[in-house]
Amino acid sequence: MLPKFDVLQPQSLAEACALLKKHAPKGVAVLAGGTDLLVNLRLPVIPDNLPRSKNARPLPKAFDKPPAWLVALSRIPELHGITEVGDQIAIGAMTSLTDLAGSSLIRQKLAALAEAADNLGSPLVRNRGTLGGNICNARPAADTLVATVALSGRLELHSARGVRIVPAEEFATAPGKTVISPDEILARILYPISAGKAGSAFYKLANRKALEIAVVNVASALVLDEKGKIADARIAMGAVAPTPILAKQAAQSLIGLKPSAKLFKEAGKIAATECKPITDHRGSAGYRVEMVEVLVRRTLERSYEL
């Protein structure tokens, strides 16, 4: 059921970038954990030559032309691991979701990201799936992308042409579409960490407790000043727009004020006016709007507690 392709296993980031450039004319894709890519390569799951009923919807296709080459990133050491350097934490794109969820450093300093990784898929998917793969798949409900947007993550994109940094909130442009060029590799994700009191939290509402894409997911991050007032706030929402989005007005309403249950409730109400959900098989637009209000309040309360 899979189309034919060859797998290349570069040993360095520079070699991987060169391979992407070389094989671009015949079609090439980056392979991380493969939990999305290998599923997409099988689409459509019903072969074209089999008869279907007259009114059947067209089968989804991930690729117009399947890639002839896959560049596997698993053997590139610089793409693995979590490091704290100065006022930021750098995470290699090939770091598995299991390693992310289990890292005490991430739990302590980037709680929303650890919680997002912990709530993604199942143990099997988390063992194979990577942070970079979840971000690059750019689904509207991608759990770690929502957390990364709230945590002001910046994406380090490498190619044979050089390196560029993209803020996480500017990365996804439509469901499954990003600003990444076919010759670029997401190498690291950089998260600023605050010296003062800071906290973050992630909530995912889904129709099942595991192996389920979010109906709504929200991540919030707060930084307090020395007087205990909110100096910085970020609220990211998933599955309520074509890409994860920031609730900018809700976050702005918190700045300079003392945290309180009433303040967080009001912010939830404002965030509900900032989302643009659709109705689909997971939930109605109206339900999603109501849940944004609840989840924003709860993530803010937990960010403050942490």
Ligand X SMILES: Cc1cc2nc3c(=O)[nH]c(=O)nc-3n(C[C@H](O)[C@H](O)[C@H](O)COP(=O)(O)OP(=O)(O)OC[C@H]3O[C@@H](n4cnc5c(N)ncnc54)[C@H](O)[C@@H]3O)c2cc1C
Interface residues toward ligand X, by CB under 6 A: 29-37, 39, 73, 93, 97, 120-121, 125, 128-130, 132-134, 136-137, 141-143, 180, 185-186, 211, 213
In whole angstroms, the minimum distance from the beta carbon of 63 to ligand X comes to 10
213 or 221: CB nearest ligand X: 213
CA distance 37 to 31: 7
In whole angstroms, the minimum distance from the beta carbon of 186 to ligand X comes to 4
In the bound state, the residue with its beta carbon closest to ligand X is 133
> In which residue are the tokens 């706030």 written?
233
CB-CB neighbours of 248 under 10 Å? 15
120 or 236: CB nearest ligand X: 120
79 or 223: CB nearest ligand X: 79
46 or 124: CB nearest ligand X: 124
In whole angstroms, the minimum distance from the beta carbon of 122 to ligand X comes to 6
In whole angstroms, the minimum distance from the beta carbon of 138 to ligand X comes to 8
31 or 251: CB nearest ligand X: 31
Q: Could you tell me which of 4, 136, 139, 124 has the C-alpha nearest to residue 69?
A: 4
In whole angstroms, the minimum distance from the beta carbon of 227 to ligand X comes to 38
